[in-house]
Amino acid sequence: MKTESVLEKVFNSGQLAVTSECGPPRGALPEKVIEKAKMLEGYVDAINVTDNQTAMVRMSSLAACILIKQIGLDPIFQMVTRDRNRLAMQSDIIGAYSHGINTMLCLSGDHPHFGDHPMAANVYDLDSVQLVQTVRKMRDEGKFQGGDDILNPPKMFIGAAANPFADPFELRVARLAKKINAGVDFIQTQCIYNMAKFETWMQGVCDRGLDKKVHIMAGITPMKSVGMARYMKNRVPGMDVPDEIVKRLAGVSKKEQPQEGIKIAVEQIQRLKEVPGVHGFHIMAIEWEQKVPEIVEKAGLYPRPEIK
């Protein structure tokens, strides 16, 4: 055991892990955080807390993580390298750990171009790979980036994202290997719709034995409507939505589309369970957190294992 992380324990028990996410509110509304987290209680092993997601200002990830920790649930502290330099990031990591937060997800973050502050300076002092390396060095060597010793180093279970669908496709396995080289423990993937392409990627991952070095959680996002499917297909960079998904949703009435979306998500999980190397699921129900329990149940992932 590298850390006290519940997620690490679930992985080590050999069972499929389940995570979901909670976007902090755009204001000082602690009750919103708690409300969303409570919805997921018992259905997931840990809750990702996003960091100024889509480059929009929200309550800080750290603060929201603390709120969740305080009600006894397990947050995953997301950190993007876009907004802070290495001083700020390292101090936040120590701060989080001192509140008992022990699981992190390291990201580079969406470019400010997409958010509500396109005029902001983007920092990118480090990139996501370098952040993974930094957190691992803090944990395993007990040293800051600058080389000084850390008093009571933070023991973080380190996650990162992977997008099997972005271009160049041939680099996607290599970049995962690079993150593993940097010290990542688990991976949450971009939401998967193109099963065949994901399986090709996983095949590449397994061929190189990378599935033995990292826990891969498949990303699942249920579609609320055919409109959402089209938007994801055409507008979201690095997203691969096959036509049949769009067609399938378009094939049912507007009222039935949400249910069809959930049905698709459940089918996807069922199929992905069979894919070697998949160690869990990361269910991102965007502004639709209340449906996560239903998906988890229908996918046969409920109840969650008791880990203490």
Residue ranges that bind another protein, judged by CB under 8 A: 82, 86, 108-111, 113-114, 122, 124-130, 133-134, 145, 161-163, 165-168, 171, 174-175, 177-178, 181-182, 190, 237-238
Nearer to another protein, 235 or 255 (CB): 235
SS3 16: coil
CB-wise, 128 or 257, nearer to another protein? 128
Q: Which is nearer to another protein, 109 or 154 (CB)?
A: 109
Residue 300 has which token pair? 């046969």
| SS3 (DSSP) at 24 | coil
Residue type, 281: F
Confirm if 249 and 225 have CB atoms less than 8 A apart.
yes
Residue 102 or 190: the one with the smaller Cβ distance to another protein is 190
CA 123 to chain centre: 22
Provide, rounded to whole angstroms, the least separation between the CB of residue 262 and another protein. Answer: 25
Minimal distance in Å, beta carbon 139 to another protein? Answer: 16
- How far is Cα 266 from Cα 261, in angstroms, rounded to an integer? 9
CA distance 166 to 299: 27
Closest contact distance (angstroms) between CB of 193 and another protein is 15
Residue with smaller CB distance to another protein, 103 or 163: 163
Which is closer to another protein, CB of 188 or CB of 257? Answer: 188
| Identity of the amino acid at 194 | N
* 94 to 5, 138, 296: CA distances (angstroms): 16, 9, 33
The residues pairing with 49 across neighbouring beta strands, listed in sequence order, are 22, 77
Report the b/e string of 182-194 with b at 16+ CB within 10 A.
bbbbbbbbbbbbb
Nearer to another protein, 102 or 133 (CB): 133
Give the shortest CB-1-to-another protein separation in angstroms. Answer: 25
Rounded alpha-carbon distances, angstroms, from residue 56 to 109, 116, 123: 11, 5, 15
CB of 110 to another protein, least distance (A): 8
Nearest distance, CB of residue 177 and another protein, angstroms: 5
Least distance in angstroms from the C-beta of 197 to another protein = 14
Going by C-alpha positions, the residue among 49, 44, 51, 42 that lies closest to residue 19 is 44
What distance in Å separates the CA atoms of residue 20 and residue 75, rounded to the nearest whole number?
A: 10
Nearer to another protein, 208 or 273 (CB): 208
Minimum CB–partner distance for residue 237 and another protein (Å): 4
